[in-house]
Amino acid sequence: MSSIGTIKKVAGPLVIASGMRDANMSDVVRVSKQRLIGEIIEMHGDEASIQVYEETSGLGPGEPVESTGAPMSVELGPGLIASIYDGIQRPLDDIMEISGNNLQRGVEVAALKRDKKWEFVPVAKAGDEVEAGDVLGTVQETQIVQQKIMVPYGMQGTVKEIKAGEFTVEEVVAVLETKDGDEELTMMQKWPVRRGRPYVKKLPLDMPLVTGQRVVDTF
């Protein structure tokens, strides 16, 4: 559920907005007509304290603030390893195509390319009983990285249909028959960044994760 309020005060990257009673902690918000991306970090009555992840110069009281009603999330799927992102998972190459070398504020770009097709090779078959974390199929994203497409968290049932071939991350590759009805599954999942991913067991840290690109900033 979205909620629309107005800016009350701006102090650097911190924005205080009123009229946000229907918003929730950790909601992603769009600030001002420039639609700068931010996150609610504190609520007091109908006032929300918002951490804005872009430059706030020029913002002032009275400008609109819209809550998306959803937490900050990332897109997981084929194309993730091959892309270079900013801190809120916006692909830098796509942003540069839109705004050039001078990056504009408020640019909205999908984290995973929606038009690129990936070769999906099914591992499961129709009739298999599966649950969260079970591998449905694989995608060879790069020469050395193979993505495993898994059953989403909190879902279990019987594979009713599964396809093979080239698909985008939004196209259905499998249909799962659950107790609540049929669920169409794609190669992309969204996951809240502040929720830890579930795991069966922790593996010993005796091998480095070689990605070919910088994944951790240090000072």
- What b-and-e string marks burial along 208-219, b requiring 16 or more CB atoms within 10 Å of the CB? eeeeeeeeeeee
Mean pLDDT of the chain: 91
Q: Regarding the domain delimited by 3-72, which CATH topology (the fold level of the hierarchy) does it fall under?
A: Elongation Factor Tu (Ef-tu); domain 3 (2.40.30)
Q: Is 116 helix (H, G, I), strand (E, B) or coil?
A: coil
Average pLDDT over residues 130-153: 94
pLDDT at 102: 77
pLDDT at 218: 64
Q: Are 133 and 61 in contact (CB under 8 A)?
A: no
Average pLDDT over residues 132-139: 96
Closest CA to 174 of 182, 188, 184: 184
> What is the pTM for the complete model shown?
0.82
Considering the segment(s) 118-188 as one domain, its CATH architecture is: Beta Barrel (2.40)
Q: Where are the domains of the chain?
A: 3-72, 118-188
Report which of residues 209 and 80 the model is more confident about: 80
